[in-house]
Amino acid sequence: MTATRVRAAVIGASGFTGGEMLRLLLNHPDVAGIAAAARSADEPLESVHPHLLGSGLQFTTPDEVTARAGDFDVVFLCTPSGEAMRRADELLAAGTRVVDLSADFRFPDPGRYARAYGREHTATEALAEAVYGVSEFHRDEIAKARLVANPGCYVITALLGVVPLYEKGVADPALPLNLVGINGTSGAGNKPRAEVMHPNAFAALLPYSLQGHRHAHELEDRIGGGVVVDLSTAHGNFARGIHIQATVPVRAGVRAELSREALLDLYRARYDGEFFVRVNTRPAQGGLTDKDYRRYPTLAGVTGSNFCHIGLDYDAERGAVKVVAVTDNLVKGAAGSAIQNMNLMLGLDETAGLRTYGF
């Protein structure tokens, strides 16, 4: 794939994630053409996405993009769960590559998908070839794929945060993994709801899906080893971002030798050379009870970027590693990781269009 030849389409371009896809594609050095498809194709795109004023983009329809699928090098599906299943076969048959940002192709087992989302999987042939899209873990497979399943925003943040502990045998898979995830209100979507309107969401946390979040299924599936994930989620009073705090139980045999310094060494080695994963290695300051905020990352450091920042600590009394991982839910948690996957699929520089730091 040579520069200026990439032709991309976004189906579901009217939502927050779709708008972020368009923003990032417009700034990508190798993307020459963009089709933006939405069901509300009669509305001016610049009215839906005022930040794209002057881009020249106009909405077309999802059916038009699907009919012209052979004209595109890649199609991004930013659609509700169920829509990608209906379109994937036709898109793939036309010879285009597909990055699905919904959950339709994240579970290799269609039965697990049905348990998580309450509906039958109807595209099992496409599912059989789908590659899970955490670039840092599946780079070689993604580069050869026609269909990539982008991970959920909580999931990619949590996986980057905790997987090294399971890979190296530090975490005890027989004990539950406890995660608390705070998501920006953009994670609620762009359909008006009173609960997430500014007067109601400001200075508040809005817990949701405590009966069992669908991303817990995805995390259990991807971590493997029978790990049980206890995921508690809420919207915070900010627009964008994922803040994960994980309590990871440590195997009894390694508790005595573990320390924050050892954890930092482990994570530095695991993510050496990974441009988008940064480990906060600031040394601890103060005494045992001092509030040393600087050793943990904050959302302000990643907003608007494709980076994941990770902070670590060790509670020796309780035999638990504490992990803080933060991302922008619309970038690394969605559109940014999708473009990272596109870059791999098309043989481009993996970081192309994504090297911007947070704002």
DSSP state of 171: B
Cross-strand pairs, 177: 229
- Confirm if 160 and 177 have CB atoms less than 8 A apart: no
- Which residue's entry shows tokens 């005595």? 256
320 neighbors 247 (Cβ within 8 angstroms)? yes
In contact, 69 and 41? CB cutoff 8 Å? no
Which residues is 77 bridged to in the sheet?
11, 100
Contact in structure between 76 and 21 (CB atoms under 8 Å)? yes
Alpha carbons within 13 angstroms on the beta-carbon side of residue 269 total 10
Residue 153 annotated among the catalytic residues of the structure: yes
- 244 backbone dihedrals φ, ψ, rounded to 5°: -110, 130
Three-state secondary-structure class, residue 243? strand
Residue 75 burial (CB < 10 Å; 0-12/13-18/19+)? buried
Nearest-angstrom CA–CA distance, 180 and 210: 11
Q: What is the DSSP annotation of 183-198?
A: E-GGGG-SS--GGGSH
3-class DSSP state of 117: helix
CB neighbourhood size of 43 (10 A): 12
| Cβ proximity of 67 and 87 under 8 Å | no
The catalytic position among 153, 201, 223, 320 is: 153
**Predicted TM-score (pTM) of this structure:** 0.95
Indicate the helix (H) or strand (E) that contains 64.
helix 62-67
Structure tokens at 123: 């595209």
In order along its 359 residues, the chain shows pLDDT tens digits of: 444 589 999 999 999 999 999 999 999 999 999 999 998 878 899 999 999 999 999 999 999 999 999 999 999 999 999 999 999 999 999 999 999 999 999 999 999 999 999 899 999 999 999 999 999 999 999 999 999 999 999 999 999 999 999 999 999 999 999 999 999 888 877 777 878 788 777 888 889 888 989 999 999 999 999 999 999 999 999 889 999 999 999 999 999 999 999 999 999 999 999 999 999 999 888 887 788 889 999 999 999 999 999 999 999 999 999 999 999 999 999 999 999 999 999 999 999 999 999 87
Task: Label the pairing between strands 308-315 and 277-279.
Answer: parallel
Q: Are 98 and 91 in contact (CB under 8 A)?
A: yes
What tokens appear for 64 in the block? 């038009």
Q: HSE, CB side, 13 Å, CA atoms: give it for residue 260.
A: 18
